[in-house]
Structure 1
Amino acid sequence: MICMKRSLARLKQIYSAPLHVRSKQVCSTLSEELRRQYGRRSVRVRKGDTVRVLRGEYKGVEGKVQRVHVKDGRLEIEGLQREKVRGDKVPVLVHASKVMVIALDMEDKMREAILRRGKDKQS
């Protein structure tokens, strides 16, 4: 029998989860206006959403999500780039928990239905 601290067991479960489970963990908080509109606190981040960085060196920067790295829970945000020593530009990855969604990309009808469901529960 293996004994493990609960906190370590939880971390192991989070970081060894399959990608279809990890994708559900890539969530960010909604802005106050969107919280009132959709009746929920956070939402899964998708390509096309507009976000604001809340922590770190790039705090306050806003941009669209260009890519979601599900495996490590990080986002590529439009306009966030770092210059390497060689002169190449590389995207800066920001963890999903360190950004706030300020505008949602509502092209997907399934996503719209899911958010509407949360709004109906609130009423």
Structure 2
Amino acid sequence: TDVSSSASKCRKSHFATTSTQRRELMASPLSKELRQKYNVRSLPIRKGDEVMVIRGSNHDYEGVVTRVHRKKFVINVERITRKKTNGESVPIGIHPSNVVITKLKLNRDRRELLARKNRSTKKGKYTNADAADLD
């Protein structure tokens, strides 16, 4: 299908996405160490991942993701809270693009996703023999 260049249509499609599409939109980049290890640039964020905030007023905070709020496009990180006027502490929502994943919560599905996204397996698909055949 064709993608519209109309700003209002793009906004509408972005905010009217399904929960499964929002999961992919709410992906965060991996830290340099994890990028070296898995050859993957980013992954959809999930509860239990350890992240470091790199943008905004809470930058340089580290913590575990306590909630992924797909409806609001935000995540909550432990210890990043603010006080309400009645003294109650509430978590601050952070967009996943403003954090870097420093430690992954791995399960079988996530390992399979990492193996599928591994960019080094796609490198060098042509051998010298294949190149000679092209000549």
Please confirm whether the aligned pair reaches a TM-score higher than 0.5, indicating the same fold.
yes
Does residue 57 (structure 1) correspond to residue 57 (structure 2)? The answer is yes
Whole-angstrom CA distance in 1 between matches of 2:91 and 2:102: 21
- What secondary structure does 1:68 align onto? strand
Q: Runs of 4+ in structure 1 displaced over 2 angstroms?
A: 4-8
Identity of aligned residues (%): 33
Task: Give the RMSD, CA atoms, in angstroms.
Answer: 1.4
AA of the residue aligned to 1:42: S
Q: Decide which structure has greater strand share.
A: 1
- CA shift digits 1:37-94 (9 cap, x unpaired): 1112111000000000011111100000000001121101011111111100101111
Cα distance, 1:5 vs structure 2: 5.0
Alignment of 1:1-123 (within 5 A): 6-106=6-106, 108-119=107-118, 121-123=119-121
AA of the residue aligned to 2:32: E
Structure 1: gaps (5+ residues): none
Aligned pairs, how many? 118
Structure 2: gaps (5+ residues): 122-135
TM-score normalised per structure 2: 0.81
Partner of 2:125: none
- What secondary structure does 2:110 align onto? helix
Q: Which is higher, the Rg of structure 1 or of structure 2?
A: 2
Whole-angstrom CA distance in 2 between matches of 1:71 and 1:38: 29
- What secondary structure does 2:63 align onto? strand
Whole-angstrom CA distance in 1 between matches of 2:56 and 2:71: 21
Partner of 2:132: none
